[in-house]
Chains A and B, each alone.
Chain A
Amino acid sequence: DTGVSQDPRHKITKRGQNVTFRCDPISEHNRLYWYRQTLGQGPEFLTYFQNEAQLEKSRLLSDRFSAERPKGSFSTLEIQRTEQGDSAMYLCASRTSGGSTDTQYFGPGTRLTVL
Chain B
Amino acid sequence: EDQVTQSPEALRLQEGESSSLNCSYTVSGLRGLFWYRQDPGKGPEFLFTLYSAGEEKEKERLKATLTKKESFLHITAPKPEDSATYLCAVYSNTGFQKLVFGTGTRLLVSP
Identify the A interface with B (CB < 8 A): 4, 6, 31, 33, 35, 40-45, 48, 55-56, 58, 91, 93, 101-109, 111
**Residue pair B46, A103 in contact (C-beta under 8 Å):** yes
What's the least CB distance linking B82 to chain A, in Å?
Answer: 19
Q: How large is the interface on B (under 10, 10 to 19, 20 to 34, 35 or more residues)?
A: 20 to 34
**Residue pair A106, B44 in contact (C-beta under 8 Å):** yes
Nearest neighbor of B36 in chain A, beta-carbon distance: A106
Nearest neighbor of A9 in chain B, beta-carbon distance: B41
**Residue pair A109, B42 in contact (C-beta under 8 Å):** yes
State which of B41, B46, B102 has its C-beta within 8 Å of the C-beta of A105. Answer: B46
Nearest neighbor of B89 in chain A, beta-carbon distance: A42
**Residue pair B42, A108 in contact (C-beta under 8 Å):** yes
**8 Å CB contacts to A: which residues of B51-105?**
87, 89, 91, 95, 97-104
Nearest neighbor of A56 in chain B, beta-carbon distance: B97
Q: Decide: A48 near B41, CB < 8 A? Known: A42-B89, A42-B102.
A: no
**Residue pair B34, A43 in contact (C-beta under 8 Å):** no
Residues of A within 8 A of B46 (CB): 103-106
Nearest neighbor of A110 in chain B, beta-carbon distance: B43
Residues of B within 8 A of A103 (CB): 34, 46, 49
Nearest neighbor of B104 in chain A, beta-carbon distance: A42
**Residue pair A43, B97 in contact (C-beta under 8 Å):** no
Q: Decide: A102 near B104, CB < 8 A? Known: A56-B97, A56-B98, A91-B43.
A: no
